[in-house]
Structure 1
Amino acid sequence: MLNEIDLSRADLNLLVLFETVIGERHVGRAAMRLNLSPSAVSHGLGRLRQLLNDPLFLRTPKGVVPTTRAMELAEPIADILVRVRNVVSTAEPFDPATSTRRFTIGAPDGVSAVVVHPLLAELERIAPRIDIGVRQILPTPSRVWLAAIADLEARGMDIVLVPSDDIPPRFEKRLIYEESFVIAMRAGHPFAADPTIERYCEMRHLVVSESGDPHGFVDEHLAKQGCTRRIALTVPNFMFALAVIAETDLISALPKRFVAMHAARFGVQSLDAPLPLPDFRLNAVAPKVAMLDAGLAWLFCMLGKPAESGQKNAAAGRQQRPLS
């Protein structure tokens, strides 16, 4: 990437600057993360543009957008910085009991609502000074979870949790849990007394859709059986969905584990779907090169443990208060 002449005037901090700006997509937020002034970040970007002979970031009303060249550089620069961090960290081996690191995890809210609580309980027990940031990620209409994977590769996040097995080979993948869908509704809903597919199609439905698109995967499976349904409401996240169906006659297909953990406090019950719905595998994903970071590799392995604990807790909760 850099020839010998460039290396004589290169500053490693400029690569850190590049990594932060491409992750934040905003000069001001990058400055806050780096404890610099926005003018210092702008000056650094000017030096980077000269060094790499490319504009790198184009200004927009909402921040900055990386150029094609910047996106091409994101992976090799992330690779360089991971290796440098790994070399530096060998001077002081990662110890979760004393580490004060902060990690960022990206996940859909229906997943983070399942994983984060048991993860925090485990961190409080064995790594009390480690902090976690959670970013909500969403599928895009045409590329599904690839936008989240691209953001991960640009080091905008440390690990993402995605319901997909279609992960490029340059990433490490770990199965966290498997999920299926149930039909959730308020306690005492009349549909529970006659949960046939005919009655299901007669109900008013709620769909979780950040974009507001009322067509979901359930509709595709209904269409195979020559059926349709009415989508009376879309909401942007799963927690909001629970709050709404608890106070209305709307019903919704929601992740089973999510419902098992959170429905009781909303007064929501669930039933098996009256039609076959697909299961999905929830995977933790991180760049393989980033796994050279002992701290990140530790967290990556940790993510499976709280999920297993959460499974047991959810099962115990179902025995105390059945949801279906």
Structure 2
Amino acid sequence: MLNEIDLSRTDLNLLVLFEIVMEERHVGRSAERLNLSPSAVSHGLGRLRTLLGDPLFLRTPTGVVPTDRATELAAPISEILARVKAVISSVEPFDPARSSRRFTIGAPDGASSVFLWQLLHDLPTLAPRVDICIRQLLPRQGQPVPSFAWSDALADLDSRAIDIAVIPLGDVPARFTTRTLYEEDFVIAMRAGHPLAANPTPANYYASRHLVVSHSGDPHGFVDVALAERGLSRRISLTVPNFMFALAVIAETDLVTAIPRRFAAMHGSRFGVTYVDAPIALPRFDITLVVPKVAMMDAGVAWLVSTLAQFSPSAPASSGERVVTQGTNAASAQ
């Protein structure tokens, strides 16, 4: 613990340096973000090591990795800096009408492509100079436990790589706060005129050639888990990294894919894509806004959370060939 003399001699910028190096895991990139030379960053890390009594970061051929002590200090230091920022920003309160900040929202494109349009519609009036960066998030493929599947998104929030995450995860650690934006499920999408649209029986669905959205290329998805429980399997003919790409591909082929219902209703028609209710029972899930509680002390982040929390999508429109099969429970989480 720092004593009074140590604290009086402590440079707050060293904590800022620590946070940036934790995010970048690279001295050179950290130097660029801080507008410093790499040697100045190295010198600052040396002062931090002396101050905190730990090596903090170990060099590797590709950058640096934090020690266990540095990992333990990451959250407390982020909280300290957030409180300092809140104190400083309170001198001139955040005003969305005048602010020129840029916020980063992480979300799978099946969600961002739904809520983003209302946000973009509102920003010119509410915050004409505020800019938004969307960072695509996808779960770890083959990971059936949601808290593990979306653990990378939570890590991005902890490291401040993103300000807010919008993901299908409601059970989060206590250090986060959440807001449910809407309920979602998955439908089976295909080109207009596809034979499956006219007769979406389970047998016809299993026999189809399938496309899976997977940023890693792993062809195993949530549908395969549901099929395996019935002793069934399907042929995965193609994987693509995002849902928009999926729409473009299925529009020109006989492939079928599971995509979020609201995403299909909003964007399918422009690609000539239709959809049907899933012929197998799959769970529903909530699309949830997740943000670190400490980040809510930032008036700008709190404003963005409030703005997004007002998002209330209307019931998704039905496509012309949408079919509800008997006994179907419309699909859900990917």
- TM-score, normalised to structure 1, is 0.91
* Contact 1:22-1:156 within 8 A present in 2 as well: no
Displacement of 1:54 in angstroms is: 2.2
The residue aligned with 1:277 is 282
Cα shift at 1:38: 3.2
Which residue of the partner structure matches residue 211 of structure 1? 216
Counterpart CA distance in 2 for 1:194 and 1:200 is 9
Partner of residue 201 from structure 2, selected from 167, 178, 196:
196
Aligned to 1:122: 122
Q: 1:104 to 1:267 in 2, by over 3 A?
A: same
- 1:38/1:109 Cα in 2 relative to 1: closer, same or farther (>3 Å)? farther
Provide the rounded CA distance (Å) in 1 between the counterparts of 2:66 and 2:124. 38
Give the secondary-structure state (helix, strand or coil) at the position aligned to 2:165.
Answer: strand
Paired with 1:33 and 1:105, the residues of 2 have a C-alpha distance of: 20
Contact 1:182 1:271 in 2 (8 A): yes
2:26 aligns to what?
26
Hey, what does 1:299 align to over in structure 2? 304
CA distance in structure 1 between the aligned counterparts of 2:321 and 2:114, rounded to whole angstroms: 16
Q: Who is 2:183 aligned against? A: 178
33-42 vs 91-100, which moves further: 33-42
Task: Choose the corresponding residue for 1:256, options 256, 261, 271.
Answer: 261
Instruction: Write out per-residue CA displacement over residues 181-228 of structure 1, whole angstroms, 9 at most, x where no aligned residue.
Output: 000111111111110000000000011112222111111111222322
SS of corresponding position for 1:303: helix
Which whole-Å CA distance do the structure 2 matches of 1:123 and 1:38 have between them?
38
Tell me the C-alpha RMSD between the 2 structures.
1.9
Letter in 1 for 2:286: R
Give how far 1:65 is off: 2.6
Give the Cα separation in 2 of the matches to 1:75 and 1:244.
42
Alignment partners' CA distance in 2, 1:134 and 1:27: 26
Aligned to 2:69: 69
Percentage of pairs with the same residue: 64
- 1:62 deviates by 4.1
Is the contact made by 2:197 and 2:321 (CA closer than 8 Å) also made in structure 1? no
2:149 counterpart SS class: coil
- Is the CA contact 1:57–1:64 (under 8 Å) kept in the aligned structure 2? yes
Counterpart contact for 2:198–2:321, Cα < 8 Å: no
- Matched residue count: 317
State the one-letter code of the partner of 1:278. P
Give the Cα separation in 2 of the matches to 1:132 and 1:43: 34
CA distance in 2 between counterparts of 1:195 and 1:6 reads: 71
**Distance in 2 between residues matched to 1:288 and 1:153, nearest whole Å:** 10
Structure 2 residue runs of 5 or longer lacking an equivalent are: 323-334
Matched-pair contact (CA < 8 Å) for 2:169–2:287: yes
Gaps of 5+ in 1: none
